[in-house]
Structure 1
Amino acid sequence: MATEIPTAPVLPADRERIEIGPRVRALRDEMGLSLREVAERCGVSATTLSQVERGETSPTLQVAARIAAGLDLRLSQLLRLDEGGSVTVVRTGDRRRGGDPERGHRFEVLTPPLPGQRSELTRHELDAGARTGTADDPPMHAPGSREIALVERGRVVLHCDGVAHELDAGDCVTFDADLPHHFDNPGPDPASLLAVVSAGLRAG
């Protein structure tokens, strides 16, 4: 019996030359990279990359693959072949969960792990006396990250860069998420909050 050799997905002939300019520009802006920086990362001249972004030229698949690598993506991600459409729904039962329930902290990631996504929405529940910042929590965020948190119920205290900020239900706080920080619930009631972390919004 002949052995089948796996092959890479084949693109339609009309996609040998492709239009990716607006997506490349958007991804580059989200990463906070200059045109020259991306050109150096992917080994494509800044002039060519600029023409691609403005739609003045369509790259071959080979050049597109190099641009994708410079943006830390696979070619299929740059071309959106890995995505099922423009709308992605995360059902309640499909949320990624973590935290340390024994210590009174639980969190859920409400957003999907899409390629190139630069923000994430999480929901945290804190029992009285509990705090975020346990071993299973998401890691400290990348330089330039910003976090927005909305207290849904209860009362929490944000400790950011050594300063405490008391927050009641309905209060919303914005802070630099690359600084040391955690939330705690001084009690006596349970508390919950929604948090959005966006990467690269602030100069490092």
Structure 2
Amino acid sequence: MATAEASSVALIGSRVRALREAMDLSLRDLAERSGVSAPMLSQVERGETSPTLQVAARIANGLDLSLSQLLRLDEAGSVTIVREDERRRGPATASGHRYEVLTPPLPGQRAELSRHVLDGGTATGGPGDPPVHEPGSRETALVESGRVVLHCDGVTYALEAGDTVTFDADLPHHFENPGPGEASLLAIVSAGLRRS
């Protein structure tokens, strides 16, 4: 195998492994999702074989990506800008909670930044709601304006504008704006970083 080709095969393999681990999938899990055998996946990840386009497409599908995303053919470079009008906005609800995701939807991304606006007397969720983040994830939030209360695992924390809080995001939690005015906060969720 030529040096450039070997390097390309190793890059694809390490990318498949990183993406699989980021999704907390075992080789067997990815094999079931993609229809590619676990031994073949293992060979790809170790850079021992170059997958055909058909196999690569099946692996990409198992990772919830397009083939071009897996092979990074759709990435223009190492810098990605999300313009204000390109932000992914959450569904409009009558609850008074609006949010938008500020980071691009890049494959293998391990953190997501979002901005939340809460009308007075509203919340991002409620008691008894299941955690919405994967096991081991952490969240850091900065209160931009107003006052909010973080309810996390049965304990409440009062936060003012300028305060920052970090917590285990896989625990039941939600933010509440006691009002009367509007409150806003920035939140970044990092996936699977806690080791306990």
1:85 is aligned to 2:82: no
Q: Which whole-Å CA distance do the structure 2 matches of 1:29 and 1:202 have between them? A: 14
Tell me, what secondary structure is at the counterpart of 2:151? strand
Per the alignment, residue 54 of structure 2 pairs with 62
Runs of 4+ in 1 over 6 A off after TM superposition: none
1:35 is aligned to 2:27: yes
Q: Which whole-Å CA distance do the structure 2 matches of 1:42 and 1:101 have between them? A: 35
Q: How many residues align?
A: 185
Q: Which whole-Å CA distance do the structure 2 matches of 1:23 and 1:121 have between them? A: 23
**Mean CA deviation greater in 156-165 or 114-123:** 114-123
1:194 is aligned to 2:186: yes
Q: Report the TM-score when normalising by structure 2.
A: 0.74
Contact 2:153 2:171 in 1 (8 A): yes
Q: Which whole-Å CA distance do the structure 1 matches of 2:163 and 2:18 have between them? A: 32
Amino acid corresponding to residue 13 of structure 2 in structure 1: G
Contact 1:73 1:116 in 2 (8 A): no
Deviations 1:91-119 (A, max 9, x none): 12322334768765432221122344443
Tell me, what secondary structure is at the counterpart of 1:38? helix
Q: Which whole-Å CA distance do the structure 2 matches of 1:158 and 1:202 have between them? A: 20
Contact 1:185 1:191 in 2 (8 A): yes
Amino acid corresponding to residue 156 of structure 1 in structure 2: V
Q: Report the aligned-residue RMSD.
A: 3.3
Q: Which whole-Å CA distance do the structure 2 matches of 1:156 and 1:142 have between them? A: 20
Residues 101 and 31 of structure 1: CA distance in aligned 2, closer, same or farther (over 3 Å): closer
**Mean CA deviation greater in 95-104 or 80-89:** 95-104
Calculate percent identity across the aligned residue pairs: 73
Q: Report the TM-score when normalising by structure 1.
A: 0.71
In the alignment, structure 2 segments of 5+ residues that lack a partner are: none
